[in-house]
Amino acid sequence: AGHVNFMVAAKGQLFSASQDQTVRVWGLQKDGFERKAELAGHHGFVRALAVSGGGALLFSGSQDKTVRVWDTHTHVQLCALSGHQEEVRALAVHNENLYSGSEDSTIKVWNIASLKCTRTLGGHTAAIFA
């Protein structure tokens, strides 16, 4: 395992993003943690995580310029979202949208149901980290 860059918890699970290019899934138990899965697929440090409102989907952003979409129950990668020109450093979910911020100074708006980019927000003059 590499250094942990980000953590998020949902539905009895803790997800940790790591510099070893993986996301680890931990079961939250009364007496501690149980390692449940290791999600591999990124080709760079994993920098950001977010969970969908209902908790069914996990989103991970990486140095590889992608956002990966994972099923939080089966821990299977569903797809990779591409479009940023530099690494993805920030993720946020609000209602039906996922927002990804990048070192390319843009925020992309993704519809969670279709997993399509619906808008790119420009205007920033530096990398977006949060």
pLDDT in tens, 50-109: 999 889 999 999 999 999 999 999 999 999 999 999 999 999 999 999 999 999 999 999
For residue 82, give the nearest of 42, 126, 127 by alpha carbon.
Answer: 42
Task: Give CA 24 to chain center in angstroms.
Answer: 12
Domain 4-121 top-level CATH class: mainly beta
Instruction: Output phi, psi for 27, to 5 deg.
Output: -80, 130
What predicted TM-score, i.e. pTM, was given to this entire model?
0.94
**Comparing 22 with 2, which gets the higher pLDDT?**
22
What local confidence, expressed as pLDDT, does residue 1 receive? 60
